[in-house]
Each structure stands twice: as structure tokens, then as C-alpha cells.
Amino acid sequence: MSPNGDVHPCEAFKSDKAVSNINQHDLYYIWQNDKRLNQLRELNKYQISNCNNCSQLENCKGGCPGQRWLKHKDVLIGPDPGCIEYEIK
């Protein structure tokens, strides 16, 4: 949570335009209705481009969504910057 009340899933998403603000809605409402939080909860590892056919997907699950956001500005674009398997290909 930012000092102004903006709610982010984690520090990696602070550059993302906050959808929710604790000064406008209570935490329960934000947890249930925030667009980014719902997107992350509903994320299917097979939706992540560049990861969906990787032999290591079952192990890493696509890595960290926050790190994918920082690198690609999209949680559906992989890989996580820490992915060793992708660098080998």
C-alpha cells in the first residue's frame, strides 16, 4: 500500500496505475473487486506466452508475476527475468 492509500499486489506493481485506494474502499471490497488482484488470482500458467510450452513450467509455474510485470509490463508475457531455461533456448 502506498502512502496515499493506493493498493498494489506487491512492490513490483507500484509503477502500475493503482485500481483501488484504501481511502475509497475497505480492504475486503478491494480484495474481492480489484481488477489486478483478480487477474493475478485467475492467472493460468498456460496463458503465459513464452512459458506455455516450456518443459519447466510445472516446476516454476511461470515464475513471479511481479517480475514479469516489471520486465514486460504484462503478467501474461514471460518469462520471468530470472528464468534460466528461457535463456538457454
For residue 12, give the DSSP letter.
G
Give per-residue pLDDT as tens, 20-59: 999 999 999 999 999 999 999 999 999 999 998 898 999 9
Give per-residue pLDDT as tens, 56-72: 999 999 999 999 999 99
Are 80 and 64 within 8 A, CB to CB? yes
Q: Which of 32, 36, 31, 40 is nearest to 16 (CA)?
A: 36
* pLDDT band at residue 88 using 50, 70 and 90 as cut-offs: low
pLDDT score recorded for residue 84: 79
pTM for this predicted structure: 0.81
Are 48 and 21 within 8 A, CB to CB? no
Whole-angstrom CA distances from 43 to 6, 37, 40, 64 are 22, 10, 5, 12
pLDDT score recorded for residue 37: 94
